[in-house]
Structure 1
Amino acid sequence: MTDHADPDAVLREFLAQGAAHSDTLGAPYRHLWTDLATATTGGKRFRPTLLLGTYRAYGGTDDRLAATVAGAVELLHTAFVVHDDVIDGDLTRRGRPNVSGAAAGRARAAGAGEAGARAYADTSGILAGDLALVGALRAVSLCGAPTATVRRLHDLVDRAVHASAAGELADVGLSVGIGDATVDDVLRTAELKTAAYSFTLPLQAGAVLAGADDRVVRRLGEVGRLVGVAFQLQDDVIGMFGDEAQSGKSCLTDLREGRQTALVAHARTTTAWPSIAPFHGCADLTREQADDVCGLLEACGSRRFVEGLVRSRLRLALDVAGVLGLPAELFDWVGARTEGLLRSAA
């Protein structure tokens, strides 16, 4: 177990241990670990914040133990992000080459053609994500908690991994046209792909580490599902209507890629859909056309509908969290991301 009460120390220790193998496994392997290290930087670290905050709220006092598991959850997140980029075919993240993108660049520099560079990029992303996933499980196993607690933690991680896999598969299925998503389909996918490991897992893991009973852990699962789905829904709203300079995401992306968001699922049920449909999945969509679609989504009530879903879920989540004794400050980061909707729901 790490000697530091800091989740980032778990990441640094994991990366240092992996890089140490490079002496015998060669330069390409060392590059893989360098790229993976870059993938762990940045982000708001809200998963460790949720875990540590919940742990302390239920009387936990061993911050070093909690930080170890919090670091493992963040490493699990890194694994999913790296794999997600491979699935989506993305070579950048946060404005810089991701694991796959960095590998592709090295392959091209070494003389590989475009097809070869892409194959090397995908291989690197898959392997890096696998290494991070194994590292997360190892950190949980060796965290130093009692055996029964470690078993409970592994059960939580296992459920989160299965849910995330199911959610990712459903999301890709919808995006490639396997059926038209209903609002319920979108909500279920968000629960599986986003809420399960980003919200439910850290909340429940913090409680388990603190020795909370099964009833509390189950109810924290409700909080995680509600907040996680609300977060994903609002993220979709920001992606469509938000300031690109702040969100870091172009409003063209979801439309060009034909993403099945709740905005789209709701719009499909309105009379505005025939005017929106030709632009959904249009690879060469222009900014002017995207602005027209945004106007239609406003006019037909889709934005208002989705933001109502966000508010209702956040309000219920806060109610349950209050009953369970969780401090409202624990959700400040989510509140900031949802542009104040969390506070307005209180």
Structure 2
Amino acid sequence: MTIDLHASVTTRIEQALEAFFAHHASAAAANGPEFADLWWLTAEHARGGKLLRPRLFLDTAEAFGASADKTAVDGLAASLELLHYAFLLHDDVLDGDVVRRHRPNLIGRVRDLHAEPSSAAALHWGTSSAVLMGDLLLSAVVLRCGRLALPADARGRILDLLEEAITETVAGELLDVGLADGAVPAAFETVMRMSAMKTATYSFALPLRLAGALAQVGASADRALARAGRDLGFAYQVQDDLLSMVGSSAAHGKDAVSDLREGKETVLVSFLRTTPQWDEVADAVGDPAIGQAEADRVRRAIEASGAREFAQDLVADRLREVVRTVDGSALPESVRRVVTACAQRIDGRTA
């Protein structure tokens, strides 16, 4: 049957997520109250996202006129959000963050429930909980996709795409950590590759290609979706770095100096390294004790060096490439409109 999107897309995704967490939290009670409580806390903290990935998938599937079981399609959409949240959990552990979306993240919440919330043991309890829950969610996503009520060839294709996305994302995160820790040389080309890998495949290329898999598109259409998705993701990641570095923390909900404290090797920082302004702020980037005054000093250097303008131009170039890719493809006009609209939304995010 044709996928029906007359009901609210957001409601459908949220209902699928609620059903997933309710099932697992109830089943977890058999393994003790601590485990069940962790599932309920995770359900609480997984709410409130923009649902960008599942919405892009459902919009594209509708545009293709793909035919599939509605429960399977909604389950696949929810799995994209679960995959995203699993990566966020691991990302918060890697970055040492305890705040997300203007409130304590899962690490911070579990820590605060400890008998001695200010202790190192409490933080370790929160961090360990996030690692373990991230692992559980990743395995749940793969298992759910393997059980979808879809033809075997479509299900196999979905699992192949999922494996590719998880692998590339982990490789990108490894580069991200390696660059920040000095284990990987901070070559500009490496930073560009990392910026694409850590977000683009699972956030944009995967939703687009999963919709194509349901529609049973050919190799040429799949390549166009992959290329457009990776360019969308690269633009989104560079723009996210811009928002984190020079945007308002009240708007993006992250620690205003988190990236600087961790020494994140973003496109902005990589460009800044090539300018005279770098010597003025090199001591502040990666300083675990960096304060607001030092962070403001780095932001002024980013502005003065032209790094912000360079990053903005990169975003604009990639978004133009997205439009060129889909306009030059054999993708249906309805699908091209979905991809172009996604590029326009990214273009509309401001720092």
1:266-291, CA deviations, whole angstroms, 9 ceiling, x for partnerless residues?
Answer: 11112222112122123333433333
Q: Is the 8 A contact 2:98 2:107 kept in 1?
A: yes
Instruction: Tell me which residue corresponds to 1:10.
Output: 16
Deviates more, 1:226-235 or 1:332-341: 332-341
Q: Answer yes or no: is the 8 Å Cα contact 1:58–1:212 preserved in 2.
A: no
Kept in 2: contact 1:318–1:328 (CA 8 A): no
Runs of 5+ unmatched residues, structure 2: 1-6
1:65-104 equivalent positions in 2, closer than 5 A:
65-104=72-111
2:322–2:340 Cα contact (<8 Å) kept: no
Contact 1:46/1:333 (CA < 8 Å) preserved in 2?
Answer: no
Tell me what 1:60 maps to: 66
| AA at the equivalent of 1:226 | D
Query: Is 2:261 the partner of 1:256?
Result: yes
Cα displacement (A) at 1:337: 4.6
Residue in structure 2 matched with residue 141 of structure 1 by the alignment? 146
Q: How do 1:301-320 residues align onto structure 2 when only pairs under 5 Å count?
A: 301-320=306-325
- Aligned residue among 287, 296, 301 for 2:292: 287
Counterparts in 2 of 1:84-233, with a 5 A limit?
84-107=91-114, 109=115, 114-233=119-238
Q: Deviations over 1:43-74 (max 9, x none)?
A: 11010111112112222144443222111111
Deviation of the 1:333 alpha carbon: 5.7
The one-letter amino acid of 2:230's match is R
- Aligned AA for 2:83? L
What is the rounded CA distance, in whole Å, between the counterparts of 1:290 and 1:96 in structure 2?
A: 21
State the alpha-carbon separation in 2 of the partners of residues 64 and 23 from structure 1.
Answer: 26
Measured on the aligned residues, the alpha-carbon RMSD in Å equals: 2.3
Letter of the 1:24 counterpart: A
CA distance in 2, matches of 1:8, 1:243: 28
Q: Secondary structure at the match of 2:199?
A: helix
What amino acid does structure 1 have at the position aligned with 2:59?
G
- The whole-number CA distance in structure 2 between the counterparts of 1:268 and 1:291 is 17
Q: Residue 328 of structure 1: which of 328, 333, 337 is its match? A: 337
Number of residue pairs aligned between Structure 1 and Structure 2: 337
User: How far apart, CA to CA, are the structure 2 residues paired with 1:271 and 1:218?
Assistant: 41
SS at match of 1:164: helix
Deviation at 1:25, TM superposition (A): 1.6
- Residue in structure 2 matched with residue 344 of structure 1 by the alignment: none
With over 3 angstroms needed to count, the CA separation of the structure-2 counterparts of 1:334 and 1:91, relative to structure 1, is farther
Moved more, 140-149 or 60-69: 60-69
1:43 counterpart (39, 49, 58): 49
Distance in 1, matches of 2:344 and 2:294, equals 31
Which digits, 9 at most, give the CA deviation of each residue in 1:198-250, with x for residues without a partner? Answer: 11111100110111112211221101110100100011111122233222235
How much has 1:256 moved relative to structure 2? 2.5
- TM-score, normalized by length of structure 2? 0.88
Q: 1:26 maps to what in 2? A: 32
Report deviation, 1:152: 0.2
State the shift of 1:191 in Å.
Answer: 1.7
- Residues 76-99 of structure 1: CA deviation (Å, up to 9, x unaligned): 111111122222222232122322
TM-score under structure 1 length normalisation: 0.90
